[in-house]
């Protein structure tokens, strides 16, 4: 384990924000992580765990310790007639892990294809797309407490999953380093094609027989058509959550905006944040090297050289405008660091 000082985080965040980490260390094994804890470094410094860096907005230099998660490996740890339990190290690239499962014909993650980031970040955010969320296939995770060094196992109920939420974003924020995640996947998948454009894309591709690979291919095509590649244009995917509003408010908005994009939700109606932002005129808006993506209004982009403060201010302006125009409060999905 080698601790470096004043390391640029530009290569390690998909927004391509150039910020320095005062201390930086790469975690390639559990021994590396235990050594960090044994030296009491997390007690001496604020800690930021970085996987793929796909859901963070760096506001300034990080005057603490960055732990770059490079843990790797995956294996089947249990199997029944109907399910297979696949354990993946937290540093594995999420999409590569999804493709591995698809190659084995394990069902459950295909709708979550092409989401940037790491396996370890997936339960923190309870990532979701096209009608699926991590909680649907999550079995358990292992995490090491950064102060005590104790390894703990968290089952489904322990994680308190919500919409883009978990206990690791709230009560336990910053306390644990997730080391592995185990997923309960199906040998006889139930395909979800009723969300978004999946079915129409399957029709366009001429798919006659559904499979996890066909669903994944359709999802990848849709995402590539709408979302910018972080390798080409700095972004963190969806910047805002889709808000849930009371049904009474939705009925009123529907009368004023018949084309409003919405879905039934547990406690009301979920409104497509991208529709709100586009309707308010922000889609494609470009400022000085940053702005709102031309194909997907949910995505804020850095065309090069923008600061975290500039992008955050843009999000603040959008939130204020949506509140004023529609009476709806948007929440950021991306974590401000």
CA distance linking residue 114 with residue 219, whole number of Å: 8
CA distance linking residue 311 with residue 287, whole number of Å: 10
CA distance linking residue 145 with residue 13, whole number of Å: 24
Identify the sign of the CA torsion 120, 92, 57, 27.
Answer: positive
Token pair for 62:
């990080």
- The owner of tokens 């909680």 is 135
| Region of 191 on the Ramachandran plot (φ > 0 left; ψ -120 to 50 alpha; else beta) | beta
Q: What is the DSSP letter of 309?
A: H
CA distance linking residue 162 with residue 174, whole number of Å: 18
Q: Which residues are catalytic?
A: 164, 238, 333
- The owner of tokens 């995490």 is 143
**Distance of alpha carbon 238 from the chain centroid:** 8
């Amino acid at each position: 384990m080698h601790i470096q000082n004043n390391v640029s985080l530009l290569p390690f965040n998909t927004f391509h924000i150039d910020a320095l980490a005062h201390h930086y260390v790469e975690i390639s094994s559990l021994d590396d992580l235990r050594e960090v804890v044994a030296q009491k470094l997390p007690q001496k410094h604020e800690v930021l765990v970085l996987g793929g860096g796909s859901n963070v907005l760096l506001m300034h230099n990080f005057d603490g310790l960055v732990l770059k998660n490079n843990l790797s490996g995956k294996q089947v740890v249990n199997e029944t007639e109907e399910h297979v339990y696949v354990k993946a190290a937290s540093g594995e690239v999420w999409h590569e892990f999804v493709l591995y499962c698809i190659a084995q014909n394990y069902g459950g993650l295909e709708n979550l294809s092409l989401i940037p980031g790491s396996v370890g970040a997936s339960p923190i955010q309870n990532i979701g797309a096209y009608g699926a969320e991590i909680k649907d296939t999550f079995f358990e995770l292992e995490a090491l407490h950064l102060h005590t060094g104790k390894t703990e196992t968290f089952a489904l109920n322990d994680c308190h999953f919500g919409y883009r939420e978990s206990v690791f974003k709230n009560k336990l924020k910053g306390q644990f380093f997730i080391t592995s995640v185990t997923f309960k996947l199906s040998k006889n998948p139930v395909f979800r094609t009723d969300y978004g454009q999946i079915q129409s894309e399957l029709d366009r591709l001429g798919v006659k027989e559904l499979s996890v690979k066909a669903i994944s291919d359709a999802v990848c095509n849709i995402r590539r058509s709408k979302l910018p590649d972080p390798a080409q244009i700095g972004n963190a995917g969806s910047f805002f959550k889709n808000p849930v509003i009371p049904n009474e408010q939705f009925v009123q908005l529907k009368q004023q905006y018949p084309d409003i994009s919405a879905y039934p939700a547990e406690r009301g109606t979920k409104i497509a944040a991208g529709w709100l932002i586009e309707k308010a005129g922000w889609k494609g808006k470009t400022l000085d090297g940053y702005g709102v993506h031309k194909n997907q209004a949910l995505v804020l982009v850095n065309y090069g050289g923008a600061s975290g403060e500039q992008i955050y201010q843009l999000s603040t302006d959008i939130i204020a405008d949506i509140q004023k125009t529609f009476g709806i409060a948007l929440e950021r999905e991306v974590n401000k660091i």
